Amino acid sequence: MKILAVADSDSYLKWAACLLDDLPSGCRTELAVVRTPIAPSPAQIAAAVGDRPAPPVLSARALRRTAERMRPDAILVACTGPVVDVLVSQTFKDLRTVFVTGLPGIAVPASEPAWRYRSGCHLFVAHSGREVAEFQALAERLGGGGAVGLARLPFLRRAGERVAKDRVVFATQAKVPRRREERERILLALARLAEARPELDVVVKLRALEGERQTHNERLPYPRLWRELGEPGRLRFAAGPMGEHLASAAGLVTVSSTAALEAIAWGVPVLVLEDFGVSAEMINLVFEGSGLLGTLEDLAEGDFRHPDAAWCEANYFQQGSDWVALLTALVTGPRGRARSLLDGPGHAAARRRARLRVEVPPRLLRAGYRAKRNATRLFR
């Protein structure tokens, strides 16, 4: 099979590169980044793809030419929802190929928008039995889309040897917690741990350095908050591949992040903070029953935990996988066009806006947004 994978941000790029590595030997694969305002920096690209050659960053038109040249059997559209929809419905329209998509991390509970934006694809890849069941239920209720396949999160299979146990890693999330005081409380708890345990290297693991873009905009970056607090303690801020941090980790803490799953795969004890709630909004509902939930007081005391074995089997650490078999059947057998729930005049304006993200250079797009905001203020 020939597979073209397209990503639009750092987290989707990492997921796409890992998923391609799980394909059977003999598959020909190409990887590209679509040019959008959230396209990763060269450093983020290098961290995401590992030993692979750095993929090109291409405009939508260049992507279309790449697909016409390659004539792939399948295109893995590893992008944020609106970009998935516009690539499938516009950029790659009329190509005789199988469209595959999915989400790069925890997707519990299943989200209606996530399904709607990806309902024009033939195969949706989920990563646990619970996710498969929830997205299949959405498909039955809403319609659209195609099959829902199961894959283990690919980067969970790449745990390496731990060389030391002298680091505590806080895996940040751009979206949660939302409030300044909540983020400051986390930093202060980390500082208390660093003061009580001077032998530990306490690291705030960033998803992007200042000035870099990521999948979701971060309104209150931790380095800025730390500076504004007057740096009241000993913390270190770092980016780079999560595996490099986990190799020497004594523990990992997060509010909600797939980094918790990576840590489990490495055998690193974990703490998932519940101080700000356990809910769909906090993206940590899936950790109920895991044995990993705890508080900022537990963090300050260095109280990390190992997960419940039954929870692991039900959530992301299952042994089976069927997505490659489903993909092969779609490529080699008869298939119809996946029906997108966003077809029709009611969604045309939203699609035009999404199309701008992949067709207009980001600098021009940002300048246009600024001009629109200024004009709105002027005529109020």
In whole angstroms, what is the distance from residue 199 CA to residue 69 CA?
A: 55
The alpha helices in the chain, defined as continuous H runs, are 10-21, 42-49, 60-70, 81-86, 112-117, 129-142, 180-196, 222-228, 242-246, 259-266, 296-300, 309-314, 323-332, 348-359, 362-378
Find all residues with CB under 8 Å of 178, minimum gap 6, and list them.
Answer: 219
User: Per CATH, which fold does 167-314 belong to?
Assistant: Rossmann fold (3.40.50)
Closest CA to 217 of 208, 228, 205, 226: 208
Residue 208 clears pLDDT 80, i.e. is over it? no
pLDDT digits (tens, 9 = 90+) for 233-242: 999 999 988 9
Cβ-based neighbours of 29, under 8 Å, separated by 6 or more: 2, 3, 4, 5, 20, 23
Predicted TM-score of the model (pTM)? 0.90
**SS3 call for 103:** coil
Mean pLDDT of the chain: 93
Domain spans of the chain?
2-152+319-368, 167-314
283: left (phi over 0), alpha (psi -120 to 50) or beta: left
How many whole angstroms separate alpha carbon 203 and alpha carbon 191?
A: 10
Cα 113 to Cα 270: distance, rounded to the nearest angstrom: 30
* Amino acid code (one letter) for 205: K
Which pair of structure tokens corresponds to residue 93?
A: 């329209």
In three-state secondary structure terms, 202 is strand
| 2-152+319-368 and 167-314 agree in CATH topology | yes
Q: pLDDT tier at 216 (50, 70, 90 boundaries)?
A: low
- For residue 191, what are the CA distances in angstroms to 48, 101, 218? 29, 40, 22
pLDDT, residue 12, reads 96
Cα–Cα separations (whole angstroms), residue 301 to 10, 193, 205, 271, 274: 33, 6, 19, 11, 15
Token pair 């992007």 is found at: 208
- Its sign, for the CA torsion 342, 346, 348, 350, is negative
Residues 316-325 have a mean pLDDT of 93
Residue 373 pLDDT = 76
Residue 238 has a pLDDT of 96
Q: Is the pLDDT of residue 212 over 80?
A: no
- Give per-residue burial for 182-202: e unless 16+ CB within 10 Å, then b: bbbbbbbbbbbbbeebeebbb
Both tokens assigned to 338: 């996946």
Per-residue pLDDT of 58-91, as tens digits, reads 999 999 999 999 999 999 999 999 999 999 999 9
Determine the CATH number of domain 2-152+319-368. Answer: 3.40.50
Confirm if 215 and 80 have CB atoms less than 8 A apart: yes
In contact, 246 and 252? CB cutoff 8 Å: yes
Position 7 scores a pLDDT of: 98
* φ/ψ of residue 222, rounded to 5: -60, -40
* Confidence class for position 320, pLDDT limits 50, 70, 90: confident
